Amino acid sequence: MNARRTTALVATASIAVLGSTALAACGSDSGSGDGGDGITVGIKFDQPGLGLKEGSKYTGFDVDVATYVAKQMGYDEDQITWKQTPSPQREQMLQAGQVDMIFATYSITDERKQKVDFAGPYFIAGQDLLVRSDDSSITGVDSLKGKKLCSVKGSTSARNVKEDVPGVNLQEYDTYSKCAEALANGAVDALTTDNTILAGYAAQPAYKGKLKVVGKTFSEEIYGVGIKKGDKDRCTKINDALKKMIDDGAWQKAVDANFGPAGFKVDTKVNPPKPGGSC
Ligand code: GLU
């Protein structure tokens, strides 16, 4: 990062701090509903290509899809408050009303549907493995015996390997970025989660040439938009927006812009999916 960019980031970061202080002082209540003052959207903050916070800048596919959907619901970009929704906290944050909707590599599952509703889907990924580039001993889930595997609490990634790989030495961290660090420094031998997320880490300047995606997916991860249970009206609005985004080419543009740089190849046999199944 050059000096000019660093200064710009610091400058925008302090404006963001000032901005949030001003908001807090006004007692502004975001997320009061469609057509209200604003909307609070849950994303990941540490998943490059999907949901990434750098200073006051938010980027990634989830951010772009959320921004498009919010716009269709009547919210401009400056009316969106981005909130971090780590994997173990997503259902609870929706239930508590801390966020209005979640776009955070959030797979639709029956278990989660007991607590929250999902609009979508808007993307289909698959679970894979990330290993060190010089490691040829791990070629898929079948070769994890005796290896230390890292994943995140409350994720389908952790649950799937617990079910499918008996006796696996699984370490459950809070975030995938911590797993990636542990993999790079040798504390674990592999990281497992969605191929979208893994591709993002492998392409990071810090890990480029050091980490590689194995490339053998072993699950289908159907990304939905998490919302409060029973919010049928919002569910329909989100699905209409997602359909529009796919039809008008904005979805493909977001795919290319966010996954292209990491060289991630989207599975076009299942993508784009058809939103609307769940509400
Ligand atoms: N898509 C999976 C899930 O929702 C893994 C990624 C994540 O934890 O966000 O559990």
Q: Evaluate if residue 157 carries a pLDDT over 90.
A: yes
**Predicted local distance difference test score (pLDDT) of residue 279:** 75
Rounded distance between C-alpha atoms, residue 196 and residue 134, angstroms: 21
CATH number (2.60.120.560, 3.40.190.10, 3.10.105.10, 2.60.40.10) of 33-125+222-262 reads: 3.40.190.10
Asked whether residue 35 carries a pLDDT value surpassing 70, the answer given is: no
> Taking a C-beta distance cutoff of 8 angstroms, is the pair 109, 270 a contact?
no
How far is ligand 1, taken at its centre, from the CA of residue 5, in Å? Answer: 32
3-state secondary structure of 87: helix
- Any idea where the domains of the chain sit in the sequence? 33-125+222-262, 127-213
Q: Where does ligand 1 bind, in terms of residues with CB under 6 Å?
A: 87, 104-107, 152, 155-157, 193-194, 221
CB–CB of 128/148 below 8 Å? no
Q: Which atom of ligand 1 is nearest to the CA of 104?
A: 9
Closest-CA residue to 140 (of 215, 231, 246, 252): 215
- CATH class, domain 127-213, is alpha beta
Confidence of residue 37 (pLDDT cuts 50, 70, 90): confident
State mean pLDDT over 209-228: 97
**Per-residue model confidence (pLDDT) at position 206:** 96
**Amino acid 26: pLDDT:** 37
In a mutational test of the pocket of ligand 1, which residue from 44, 46, 91, 106 has the highest number of ligand atoms less than 8 Å from its CB? Answer: 106
Classify 49 in phi/psi space as left (phi over 0), alpha (psi -120 to 50) or beta.
left
Mean pLDDT of all residues in 240-244? 98
**Strand extents, DSSP E, 5-144:** 39-43, 46-47, 51-54, 57-59, 80-84, 101-102, 116-125, 127-132
Mutate to test the pocket of ligand 1, among 193, 197, 219 (most ligand atoms within 8 A of CB): 193
The whole-number average pLDDT for the span 248-277 is: 96
**Which pTM was predicted?**
0.87
What is the C-alpha separation between 157 and 234, in angstroms, rounded?
A: 28
The predicted-structure confidence for 67-80, as pLDDT tens digits, reads as follows 999 999 999 999 99
The pLDDT, as a whole number, for residue 22 is 39
Give the whole-angstrom CA distance, residue 149 versus residue 84: 25
Rg of the chain in Å (alpha carbons): 19
Residue 192 pLDDT > 70, yes or no? yes
Rounded to whole angstroms, the Cα distance separating 161 from 140 reads 12
Query: Binning pLDDT at 50, 70 and 90, where does residue 166 land?
Result: confident
Cα dihedral: 262, 158, 128, 164 (round 10): 180
Ligand 1, atom nearest to 155 Cα: 10
Over range 88-111, report the average pLDDT. Answer: 98
pLDDT, mean over the chain: 89
